Structure 1
């Protein structure tokens, strides 16, 4: 192993762990969203991303950088950032209005599997059997969770919603993988994308929705969403997708819906069941398979030498 590889590996590991933190924060999204379910969706989108933009500006100011530093990225970076953040959420909200949430979630959560597949197209990328196997196990776990929530059959009347959900999967997986080509753009650039997403959400809200004044509890919910799953999570994910292990991140992302369901159970908003435990086991198995290294013993090879399969 070269010194260069040894030097870069901790950075890659730390970036992957940042992605795990983002996935953990996204696991709280459903529970936190229940506290603002009375508010119009685009109003929630505009509010939470405005808070995320302020969080980003605070990060820049804390390190002594100017506010314009967050806007310094090429036009293609702007297109990717705003298209990824706003495009995913706009499609997701539309899908929920046009099709049952169980089917929408099932289709939208194809994005971790697509990340695993698309990452092989990157320079130096390689699709390994363990990544595909882990992603399929994770997908089976998500299917198990969502199937427990109700009928997962499809109906022609809901086709627009299904297509929008598929668009969600394609947009987010593409955003996550193409981020690698913008590895030199600092995470502060997410601030500008969040601000633009908030502005687009506000325009859509004013054009399409009535404004609802949030209660004190709802205001706290918006703040928690903006600081967590709709804020810090995107900064962490930006760093992870640019510098971490994309196939592993794709597989580990299946933990978000399972964690989400577990938190809802702990909060008394969902019921624990053997099916949920089976889903957790499948997702955990997928993560272990995807991150495992196979030990091969042969002439001139020590027993403790591990290489990727």
Structure 2
């Protein structure tokens, strides 16, 4: 597989993640950990079928347990935070905050051996976080706001996924089939978490059931496998650039679906986040 092909495959994940906020909102009233269990079970089935069809079960045996623990922590942690954020804050605002992960990928990859942080990285970070601050404040910051806990969780989402992606780059000799194990472990861990912290509430409409299925097949299923191929074998900087379209696409999808309202704060914040991330990405490509 060529580097360009791997990058193109990784870009499929970006398109799928643009639908994550919409399907998560549509899955209400399912609580976060139960949603995690349901969607990752579907993602696991996809992976098991893929691994068995290719006869690649043997490649999973020599992989160290630490790799499996790392991947499980990344997937389980990110989605538990993300689903909770979208339950506690408006989907558009929480989604945009969570989508700071492309910027953080650029910043963190600049700190890897052989890379260095340039002025453009810092400027881009300030511009994008300015957009995030505009969303959080919406005319005035208030720590007593009901949405604040959700927005904080969304920020941790960004940190979790960017760390997972950049560290995965350093594990480029690990086969993508390990993502199947990550998904299985995440689904299993979500069950006791659900029983301990949540009341079981199943989807109460066809839209909710279809949203859960769509999540498991796309943004929480196929997306992880193609993303793993992209970040390990493709151009992670170009994937970072491509990922900056996701906040805008996600917000436009929510507006089109009638879930989010058009406002100048939301639109300006989306432009700032994407513009700042683009500045940082160009600095990385010039390194």
Q: Give the TM-score category using the shorter length.
A: 0.7 to 0.9
CA separation of 1:209 and 1:167: change in aligned 2, threshold 3 A? same
Secondary structure at 1:121 match in 2: coil
**Within 5 A, what are the aligned runs for 1:274-285?**
278=268, 282=272, 285=275
1:232 to 215, 222, 235: 222
- 1:155 equivalent to 2:133? Answer no
1:22 aligned residue (10, 13, 18): 13
What is the TM-score of this pair, normalised by structure 1?
0.76
Unaligned 5+ runs, structure 2: none
Partner of 1:194: 183
The match for 1:113 among 79, 82, 103 is 103
Give the corresponding residue for 2:50.
59
Q: Sort the Cα spacing of 1:181 and 1:239 in 2 relative to 1 into closer, same or farther, 3 A.
A: same
Offset of residue 28 of structure 1: 0.4
SS of alignment partner, residue 55 of structure 2: coil
1:198-213 matches, within 5 Å, as 198-213=187-202
Partner residue of 2:156 out of 162, 167, 175: 167
Superposition TM-score, scaled by structure 2 size: 0.81
**Structure possessing the higher relative contact order (Cα contacts under 8 Å, 6 or more residues apart):** 2
Instruction: Give the number of equivalent residue pairs.
Output: 284
- Determine the C-alpha separation between the residues in 2 that align with 1:71 and 1:223: 30
Q: CA deviation at 1:220?
A: 1.8
How far off its partner does 1:16 sit?
2.9
Where in structure 1 are there 5+ consecutive unaligned residues?
1-9, 294-306
Q: 1:279 to 1:100 in 2, by over 3 A?
A: closer
Cα RMSD over matched residues? 3.4
Distance 1:173 1:152, change over 3 A: farther
